[in-house]
Structure 1
Amino acid sequence: MYWNGRESLREGIVELEKSAKDNYNKILTVYNYGTKENGQSLNPYMDKAIEKASINIQRHSMYFEHKEQINYIDDSYLLIGQAYFYKHEYHKSKRTFEYVMNKYKYNDIKYEAMLWLANSYNQLEKYKKARSTLDYLKNEMDKYPKDVPKNVTKQFPLIKADMFIRQEKFTQAIDFLVDAIYLRQDKKTDARVKFILGQIYQSEDELYRASDYYMLAIKRNPSYELAFNAAINLATCYDTRYEEGSKDIRKKLDKMLKEDKNLDFRDQIYYALADVAYKDAEDSLAIAYLRLSVATSVSNDFQKAESSIKLGKYFFEGKKYQLAQAYYDTAIQVLPEDYPDYKRIMANSEFLNELVDNLIVVQTQDSLQMLAAMSVEDRNAIIDKVIEDLKIQEEKEREEAEALAAMAENMPPDMRNPGQQMGGGPSQGKWYFYNPQAMSFGFSEFKKKWGNRKLEDNWFISNKLAAIDFLEDEQIAENDSLGGAADSTSMASNNPHNRAYYLDGLPLTEDKLDSSNVLVQDALYNLGTIYKDKFEDLPRSNESFETLVNRYPENSHLLQTYYQLYRSFSKMDSIDKAEYYKNLLVQQFPESDYAKLLLNPDYYKELEAEKNRAITLYNETYDHYTSGHYYTVYSNSNRALSTFEEPEEILAKFEYLRALSIGKIEVVDSLQAALEKLVIKYPDSEVKPLAQNILDYLTGPIDTTSTEEEPEETFDLSLYEFNPSSKQIFALVVDDSKVNVNALKVRISDFNEKFYSLENISITNILLNKISHFVMVGNFEDIESALNYFHAIMKNEYVFANISEGDYNGFVIAQENYPVFYKDKDVEKYLAFFREKYLENE
């Protein structure tokens, strides 16, 4: 039994090594246990290992006189812990290893259990506990060196190095990695450790030592991917300080480019060539290589992001913002959230998008205005040329699409024959779409030719407006003359092959020209603000602001533009320019706050003092109101409202006290009129709801928010309780008219049998309402295991085969919340609770 379980564990590890991918753009960890999804995919192997080990323990364990009398029982417990570990169920593995340590203190297996316990803590990111466990193990190893198994001695420095690397304390990992090498690891581990040492030294700019370790890694004849990345990194360790030429390095990289086996790695090779060119001060060549790196990136999203960001930074620093935006936009499409400076990169991308959007507005409207100002003949000639170019482009793209389809049709039969395993999994790859080699080749060729295209009709046409069925023109002609004429006009204005399509957007009337100018004015002002506040590019900012002032001397942003120009030129020590715009502002807008501030630097201090006087008067007036001095309240409120212009919130409170005092000294109608004035004049004030309540009492509710948007639907979630320690159920609510519930239950059962065979999960269903069934899967001991199941099953294509997304909802629900939900039956309400309490807390 133990042997069978151990073999199943080993088979699972082999599968993990195939599926777990290393990111060579980052310093590798010593061990790669893959993602949580990788771990869950091993369930059939690891569950079998657990099952066999458990049976072995149950049938053969003989524990008496405080000692296990049967061999392999302790190994069976360790095997169970390891199986949980590879499934990414680290809390269970931790408890199992702790049990082995305590149960078998007399046995040398305790050392191996300690090592695995530390490794579990590493995966749980509990590094203090990992370090404490390793320190204790080291003391035990020093005390009883002869008792410690050799594999524990060899793995100890690896586990400790991994602990430091996962915390990004790379320097502290070096000594342990070197120790691991001296302990003669197996060839694969030795190569990986040397590669990691090369990465660490390269990150610290110790390029000579990094090169040594990369060469040592290559000499160990590792996997091709590691050897390739070692060669690439070796090239990027080229250091001009040692007066070594780059000719040989470039020659080697060029040779790698020509090798077919490196087809999917060209992005990394071009990146390395760019790095060498940068070091040789050949910036133009480096940019060309980086562009090729982005263009040839097929499957390595991290590399594509790396190359794109480097290009984006280069163009940004050179103030070529539109090019920078294009590459930042490319990067964020594939940028992982754990990428260094992720938030800053996303912010820069948003700023650049905002900038380019406004640049496009200016360029577009200027072009349209220029076209509108031409003679009819010249304008039509330009439009006709655009239409002709469009037709040529479409014809070329159609020909390429047909050629690609013909290439797929002419593929060898062994790449096209259909075949599929029961349960939705791929077969041995006979059909094209189940053949990884064919798919990889086809995907690479497609991306080389077409780039990234959205899956949709007429995908091969980049200008979707051109995707038009010209047969509709003939159909329109068959309609009656009046309707046909109207439809033809509409059709022409939506057809990019017709002049009307382009003429429709031209500002040929005075109203359209005015609207176009407003768009340009707003965009120029926005550009000046973005350049100044977000990019600190004052020359570009001033250029935009001055263009706005010169082109549109009476624009709606004139006051703010004068002030921005005054401040920018002051910062640049251009005193004459700053004074010029200051004088314009004061002369043209003498009553503005900006003018008062420029003429009186203490203006805002005085404004604050005025605000304090208003607050003091309000406090006095409120005291009079509570004392019943309503005429004094009325008088003070009138004085405040005529004297002060701000703050608005205090003025609203004065208005409220004034209304209440009127209610005490005049008739009710006067109170109502005063309150209605308040709610309209100060709709966002604190006292508006108080005033509205009195109005509702006097006259019934009045509509003061008719122009406001409908608020989003909110739910009262108080009927559900969130208890992380509760037992949980995975639930599906399905549309009974569109989903075969029995077939769905069978597929869920198949899924459970394959991936959760040890969990003894039950499946039941009941009618939720007239159109919906409620399918329940459980029970799960805690939220973590329930959410793991939720994520795994919701991504499984076999379970939800032929079921549309809108026909079901999946979620996790606590046992005590189930009867509440069943009684309430509001699925959307519970989904809001689930998203807030379960998913946002992950």
Structure 2
Amino acid sequence: MGSCSSERNTFTNRAFHNLTSRYNAYYLSNTKIQEVEKEVIANYNEDYTQILPVFVPIDSATIQSNKEKLESARELASKAVEWHRISKWVDDSYFLIGKIDYLQGQFDDAQNTFRYVNVNSKDKDLRHQTLISLLRLYVDLEEFENANFTIDYLSKETEINDENRFELYRTLAYYYERRSDKNGVIGALDKALEYAKNPKEKSRINFILAQRYQREGLDALAYDFYQKAQEGNPPYNRSFYSQLYAQQVAELNASKDLRKVRNYYESLYEDPKNRDLKDVVIYERALFEEKQGDIPLTIDLLHQAAKEPGSNERLKGYIYEKLADIHLSEFKDYRATKYYLDSALTFIREGSPAAIQIEDRKTTLDQFVFHVERIQSNDSLIFLSQLSEEEQRVVAEGYIKAEEERLIAEAKAQEKPKSTGIFDNLLAFADRGSGSTFYFDNAVAMQQGAIDFYRTWGNRPLQDNWRRRAVVFENSQSETLTEEDSTTLDSEENNPLNQLPDIDQLLSQIPSSSEEIGLLNEELEESYFELGKLLYFDLSEIEQSVENLETLVREYPESSRKPEAYYLLYLGQKELAGNAQQYVGRLNREYPESQYTYFVNNPDAASGNLAYIESSKNYENAYNSYYAGQYQQARSLIQSTLKEYPLTRNTEKLLLLDIMVTGKTESRARYRERLENYIENAKEEQLVELARNMLNPLLSAEELAALNAVDSTAIDSTEMKIALADSTEMVNPLPDSPFVMDEAQTHIMVLSMSPEEAEKAQGVVGDLERFHAQNFPNSRLRTGNMNMNRENAIFIISPFTDASKAKEYYELFQSDFESNAITEQVKSNAFVISIENFQILNRTKNIEEYRAFFKVAYQ
């Protein structure tokens, strides 16, 4: 009883508190935490078709369902701290509290607790364990600078025990995984294997290494690790995939080996234990046949895999994505590719990296298919509108007949003929007779019967006693049909009668008035033009682009899109080594004042002017939105254009239009401030004069007199008298500098050098593109160059949405970018700059003045 006191620090008291804190509070708390961690792993469904993550992701739903258990663990660990504070298990209990905070997503608390233990604990092993947990937390939060510091510190520590070394190397692999360093992951996991004690964990690491070696094309190494992954009694699925993937990387030198592998896939398919993995077997067989160069068989196998049941729904998405890849690379079938990607997205979780990547790929294909199908549909409808009513009815009847044949063909395809081998009838499409002779077992006979019924009686609903003579009685009965009765009716989805179109409905779709035909022609005109652009810019199908654009100018000679179509035809014919000069002549004859005529007459100036073309169209749309009172829409379009095309001859016009939007939506002070800045910095005199006239109504009589302003342009002053809520003002960190700090503006980064250095630096563009692909794959960064004056040539990287994104790029550029095309001095002298400040710099040409501003404002 006397040893219970935590106030007396005697041997007996310490022994009592060490015993009770370790084997009561600490032990029970740690056991509960381990149970939750095991449940997280058990609930995670490993996707073996993709590279496994180093750590199993922590599922918030599992953590939430174990909230009471974790709170109980927290209470026990807290008691070890409060009740047994003279024991040597206090710091260990604090570590458990940090783990609970980490599992529950309370990262700030976890971080503080881990730091406290690291600073105060005298137990070296516990400190190492805490630092490794802290490293994982830093990687989770992508605080890589703190992670680097922790790694550096741990690398200098000695006497790290084997258990901690295993966790350290595993966490290092996680660090490299998050930084997309493939070699780093492999190296760290390889070291982790040396210290792994748990056979199942060793099996999982071996499997990850095998996957990564396979992706790198090191098949021999991958084969060895797949074999090792089958050791240690792994879960059945991992063992299954290890055997399966080992076949992919096995060395095959003879036809005998190929037969062996195919027989192996057959045996896997027929194994009852693989009932839920049949789709995986056929999918892997498809990838194997693709390697052998048999594309038709590969496609058939992929279709079969999509039809097979399976436990991993995501696999169906990967199957359809593979079908999309094949139809794109082998056949350039953009329509099929789009629809396969649509199917893939129905099985892949929305918002996942794979889904986002597919969505990005689909953007262009969606537009392509939309315009192709609209052209086909509208062409057909216009053609039908020119036929007589009798001819239209004949066409409609033929269409219905074709639909009937299609339904019968589908019924045949659904028959399940007996087969001696699983791969003999891959798509179940082969005609092996009509199946059973019993009517209700014969899908073809039933389909044909339903269609014959439709021909005789029409598309009437199925109901009991429909032949009754007492129609009145029948009608009264039909009104009292119960819900139970209705379940006996065929569903619309499965009833072939509902799939057959009605002839009157088909005929009603044919346009009959000039207005309807005119609308179809307007849509056709738009689709031919947009499809031509899409094929030229996004799909690089120059010949098809030329065909569509030539159809546009031939069929719609009054189209407002003709000048741009001529210009695109000019570019297309130049690439095809065709007659590009004919479009130069047409532009000069028909549209002598067009900007496109300027481009073809000055081919040297046309380089890079596609940005000007697009920004011109966007400016026109934004201008129309402004005068329609749609100010937010106008601003959105202006800002997106400035972001995508930051340096064109339209930049100053877009900026002034944006200021006009400010006059309608923001405060009078903000409007005036922006006009004054614009007048000071803009170069185009007509726009400056227009801005002055906008500013005049905002000035007092004294200010007007001081400026000697001349009221020369009739602009409605009431339009300028706006007084709404105040907005934030821009800051000038150097009062005497002409440059103004505005972090919200679109920014660019500039590499400045002499013209001689610029000539030698042409290779830097390729180095920058590789740098962007590795570090900013989704940012759509562009690179261009221009001569600022005789002394300075510049390379421009753009766009960055704001200053923070530009500074993030600048810092990574300074630390990681390497190129033999530029000197270290050029690299170190790079700077970021906002669009408005670049306009000032382009006018003053004083780069050193801006560098001084850059150091104060950004560094």
TM-score (norm 2): 0.55
Q: CA separation in 1, counterparts of 2:527 and 2:185?
A: 53
Higher mean C-alpha deviation, range 264-273 or range 363-372: 264-273
Q: CA separation in 2, counterparts of 1:112 and 1:56?
A: 19
Match of 2:582 among 580, 583, 593: 580
Q: CA separation in 2, counterparts of 1:654 and 1:332?
A: 54
Return the offset for 1:655. Answer: 8.6
* Higher relative contact order, chain-length normalized (CA < 8 Å, sep 6+): 1
Q: CA separation in 2, counterparts of 1:565 and 1:23?
A: 48
The answer for the alignment partner of 1:152 in structure 2 is 164
| Contact 2:393 2:507 survives alignment (8 Å) | no
The answer for the alignment partner of 2:847 in structure 1 is none
Match of 1:510 among 511, 514, 523: 514
1:367-378, aligned counterparts within 5 Å? 367-378=380-391
> Does structure 1 residue 163 correspond to structure 2 residue 175?
yes
Q: CA separation in 1, counterparts of 2:697 and 2:115?
A: 74
| Contact 2:163 2:195 survives alignment (8 Å) | no
> Does structure 1 residue 379 correspond to structure 2 residue 392?
yes
Q: Secondary structure at the match of 1:272?
A: helix
> Does structure 1 residue 256 correspond to structure 2 residue 268?
yes
- Tell me which amino acid in the other structure corresponds to 1:89: Q
| Residue 30 to residue 590, structure 1, CA distance change in 2 (3 Å) | closer
Q: Secondary structure at the match of 1:222?
A: coil
The answer for the alignment partner of 1:55 in structure 2 is 79
The answer for the alignment partner of 2:248 in structure 1 is 236
Q: CA separation in 1, counterparts of 2:97 and 2:696?
A: 78
Q: CA separation in 1, counterparts of 2:595 and 2:108?
A: 63
The answer for the alignment partner of 1:190 in structure 2 is 202
Match of 2:104 among 87, 90, 99: 87
> Does structure 1 residue 326 correspond to structure 2 residue 339?
yes
The answer for the alignment partner of 1:8 in structure 2 is 32
Q: Secondary structure at the match of 1:168?
A: coil
The answer for the alignment partner of 2:503 in structure 1 is 499
Return the offset for 1:589. Answer: 4.0
Q: CA separation in 2, counterparts of 1:498 and 1:392?
A: 16
| Residue 48 to residue 307, structure 1, CA distance change in 2 (3 Å) | same
1:77-226, aligned counterparts within 5 Å? 77-106=94-123, 108-137=125-154, 139-142=156-159, 150-226=162-238
Return the offset for 1:469. Answer: 8.3
The answer for the alignment partner of 1:282 in structure 2 is 294
Return the offset for 1:327. Answer: 1.8
The answer for the alignment partner of 1:840 in structure 2 is none
Q: CA separation in 2, counterparts of 1:177 and 1:600?
A: 59
The answer for the alignment partner of 2:568 in structure 1 is 564
Q: CA separation in 2, counterparts of 1:261 and 1:214?
A: 20
Q: CA separation in 2, counterparts of 1:232 and 1:27?
A: 15
Q: CA separation in 1, counterparts of 2:409 and 2:599?
A: 62
Q: Secondary structure at the match of 1:220?
A: coil
| Residue 136 to residue 241, structure 1, CA distance change in 2 (3 Å) | farther
Identical-pair percentage: 23
The answer for the alignment partner of 2:363 in structure 1 is 350
Q: CA separation in 2, counterparts of 1:14 and 1:138?
A: 30
- Tell me which amino acid in the other structure corresponds to 2:517: L
| Contact 2:223 2:246 survives alignment (8 Å) | yes
| Residue 287 to residue 363, structure 1, CA distance change in 2 (3 Å) | same
Q: Secondary structure at the match of 2:230?
A: helix
Unaligned segments of structure 2, at least 5 residues: 1-23, 412-442, 444-457, 464-470, 476-497, 617-648, 654-683, 702-711, 729-859
The answer for the alignment partner of 1:744 in structure 2 is none
| Contact 1:198 1:212 survives alignment (8 Å) | yes
Q: CA separation in 2, counterparts of 1:504 and 1:158?
A: 67
CA deviation string 1:50-92 (max 9, x = no partner)? 112222332233x2xxxxxx36444433332333333333433
1:519-534, aligned counterparts within 5 Å? 519-534=523-538
Q: Secondary structure at the match of 1:11?
A: helix
Return the offset for 1:561. Answer: 2.5
The answer for the alignment partner of 1:246 in structure 2 is 258
Q: CA separation in 1, counterparts of 2:271 and 2:119?
A: 56
Return the offset for 1:341. Answer: 8.1
| Residue 652 to residue 603, structure 1, CA distance change in 2 (3 Å) | farther
| Alignment RMSD (CA, Å) | 4.8
Q: Secondary structure at the match of 2:105?
A: coil
| Contact 2:279 2:308 survives alignment (8 Å) | yes
| Contact 2:199 2:231 survives alignment (8 Å) | no
Q: CA separation in 1, counterparts of 2:304 and 2:459?
A: 30
| Contact 1:240 1:280 survives alignment (8 Å) | no
- Tell me which amino acid in the other structure corresponds to 1:524: Y
| Contact 2:204 2:229 survives alignment (8 Å) | yes
Q: CA separation in 1, counterparts of 2:288 and 2:146?
A: 43
Return the offset for 1:124. Answer: 3.2
- Tell me which amino acid in the other structure corresponds to 1:85: Y
| Residue 542 to residue 256, structure 1, CA distance change in 2 (3 Å) | same
How many corresponding residue pairs? 547
1:270-309, aligned counterparts within 5 Å? 270-296=282-308, 300=312, 302-309=314-321
CA deviation string 1:257-286 (max 9, x = no partner)? 334544444443333222211211112222
The answer for the alignment partner of 1:692 in structure 2 is 719
1:400-415, aligned counterparts within 5 Å? none
CA deviation string 1:347-370 (max 9, x = no partner)? 331111111111111110122223
| Residue 308 to residue 467, structure 1, CA distance change in 2 (3 Å) | farther
Unaligned segments of structure 1, at least 5 residues: 64-69, 143-147, 399-448, 450-465, 479-493, 616-645, 664-673, 679-686, 698-713, 719-842
Q: CA separation in 2, counterparts of 1:365 and 1:647?
A: 48
| Residue 105 to residue 584, structure 1, CA distance change in 2 (3 Å) | same
> Does structure 1 residue 31 correspond to structure 2 residue 55?
yes
Q: CA separation in 2, counterparts of 1:173 and 1:265?
A: 29
- Tell me which amino acid in the other structure corresponds to 2:44: A
Return the offset for 1:392. Answer: 9.9
Q: CA separation in 1, counterparts of 2:727 and 2:719?
A: 28
TM-score (norm 1): 0.56
| Contact 2:348 2:354 survives alignment (8 Å) | no
Match of 1:544 among 524, 548, 554: 548
- Tell me which amino acid in the other structure corresponds to 1:354: Q
| Contact 1:312 1:324 survives alignment (8 Å) | yes
The answer for the alignment partner of 2:325 in structure 1 is 313
| Residue 85 to residue 558, structure 1, CA distance change in 2 (3 Å) | closer
- Tell me which amino acid in the other structure corresponds to 1:124: L
The answer for the alignment partner of 2:68 in structure 1 is 44
Return the offset for 1:195. Answer: 0.8
